Amino acid sequence: MTMVEDLIEQYFSQKDVTQRHQILKEITFKCEHASKEFFENAFKKERKLEEKLTALRGFAYYASEQEVEPYANKLRESILKIPKTTPYAYNLYEDIRAAYLLPYLVKTYNYPCFIELRNQVEKQYEDMPDVFKNIYSYDENGQFYQIRDPREVKRAIDEFLRQKRS
């Protein structure tokens, strides 16, 4: 069994969502050793948008633009609902705007569906108050990095929410 086959087996048996996403991310960076079917199944299995987008990145490696488009459109529909359901979902935006996800898809494939998805995400991100922006991100290799001090972020968000309530 190859390392990727072992990771795929771990992915489908893993119950912990955080661990499963880490495994999915690792497989995505080795996608030439996985399969189109794996990434399509992962997209369908995942619930969180950033995990679906991670699976879509792997799927795009194998699939045509026409095959990718329905999945990108499905993500776009979900993203359109965020301001109504979770208006300050900064963590979601920070995750999907990470260099290894949406920017990578636009840069690598330049499909109109990815460009539309990015434009929608950026519009909604820009509509959020500044206090919820540029908190953290991930680089091209999916490595986390902090942009703003977590204590300062917590203080600023608490202050924003306190003022909002008064």
Output the DSSP codes for 22-35. HHHHHHHTTGGGS-
What pTM did the predictor assign? Answer: 0.94
Instruction: Please write the tens of the pLDDT for every residue from 29-63.
Output: 987 888 999 999 999 999 999 999 999 999 999 99
* pLDDT above 90 for 144: yes
| Beta strand residue intervals within the chain, DSSP E | 136-138, 144-146
Q: Where are the domains of the chain?
A: 3-165
